[in-house]
Structure 1
């Protein structure tokens, strides 16, 4: 399975991420996409063909394999990567849309301001009352700036989070991290429920049309067990990174 298209979108999300978010993206691309795409295909390419049962009953082996492995480890992790990366891709689309709108509105405002400035310079330049008004405005601006400076948060992210133009963008990113965290936890629990923590060497099958209890043998059980633990460990790390980033963002926003 080719992951290049998804990688490009996730790398775009890296531009909007915090430091912890950048670590998460690194783990997603390097330790998940690359490993599943390169190593996983070699480990699981003979998964069904090498699943052997000691019976000649037609259909028994297929039924037993379906019972033993409702979904392949590799396909499960592929779905996990797709679902986990989806919130980040949606956030990139939202950011690109907002950036385009902002550029358009800024261009229109700049043209409008230039026209207004030209008109005002012709009519009110050098008027004594206008000079007094400007002086009062400058004084009130200095007082307002002093108050803002006095009560301004020291955390740069917290400062940005309370700027109206940035606040909505910040909330969307916070929602993106929260959804990502929930998906990571959900797939982590689902992996434990579906596969457990080891792949057995032999599986006893009692499903029809098998005539009796049939012994089935799995290919590369130890290698698949190590792979299972490896992906479980990286899922735990990704959950921890998402949790740390979410707490940091909430703390910065509050």
Structure 2
């Protein structure tokens, strides 16, 4: 792959053919990455160290924490969700770069427009699935008390554990769910933008 292909691929990813796509990539996407990277680590960075159960034993704390948090919503799940949702667009722009398709031509020729719309629809589907998993795994609220089933450790009891900074984590979860909702709405709006532009600027054969 020549440097020209790499340049076209980079420009396609950074500057999509739609205004809404550019807004999502340059502005909203940057805010979301900053939110996950900076604020997310501040909230979830030392969660395991401050997760305390009664009795306060290291093995009990670790076991119950893994039960309480099999995957972190900030580092693991949200980052994976962000990458997966961006894959269809990246694949399209890779295809456009290999075919030497100019960004201005994407919305001018029917075949390119249809392929691009399909990539947006795939992004919507992936974002919706990720949103459902996000709600299923984490919900909208983090409670201050977690009841851990520690019978497999031989404790033969339900152990109470204190969740650190539960209020901040609740706010963070609400923010993540809000970001995901806005992302889906932006993808839907991008399709409407394409349709609107096609109504005023007919396809070039």
Q: TM-score range by the shorter chain?
A: 0.7 to 0.9
Q: What does residue range 1-254 of structure 1 map to in structure 2 within 5 Å?
A: 12-26=12-26, 28-56=28-56, 59-74=59-74, 75-99=76-100, 166-207=109-150, 208-209=152-153, 210-250=155-195
What do the CA deviations read for 1:148-184 (whole angstroms, capped 9, x no partner)? xxxxxxxxx9x985x6xx2222122111111111111
**Matches of 2:15 and 2:26, distance apart in 1:** 13
TM-score normalised to structure 2 length: 0.80
Q: Offset of 1:33 from its aligned partner?
A: 1.0
Residues 48 and 65 in structure 1, CA contact (< 8 A), matched pair in contact too: yes
What do the CA deviations read for 1:64-87 (whole angstroms, capped 9, x no partner)? 112211210111111111111111
Q: Aligned Cα RMSD in Å?
A: 2.6
Higher relative contact order (CA 8 A, sep 6+): 1
For structure 1, the 5+ residue unaligned runs are: 1-8, 103-156
Larger radius of gyration: 1
**Matches of 2:178 and 2:132, distance apart in 1:** 13
Q: Offset of 1:34 from its aligned partner?
A: 1.3
1:115 equivalent in structure 2:
none
**Matches of 1:32 and 1:160, distance apart in 2:** 27
1:134 equivalent in structure 2:
none
Residues 140 and 173 in structure 2, CA contact (< 8 A), matched pair in contact too: yes
- Cα gap change, 1:202 to 1:64, in 2 (>3 Å): same
**Matches of 1:200 and 1:90, distance apart in 2:** 40
**Matches of 1:67 and 1:45, distance apart in 2:** 18
TM-score normalised to structure 1 length: 0.66
Residues 18 and 193 in structure 2, CA contact (< 8 A), matched pair in contact too: no
For structure 2, the 5+ residue unaligned runs are: 1-8, 200-205
- Cα gap change, 1:226 to 1:58, in 2 (>3 Å): closer
Q: How many residues align?
A: 187
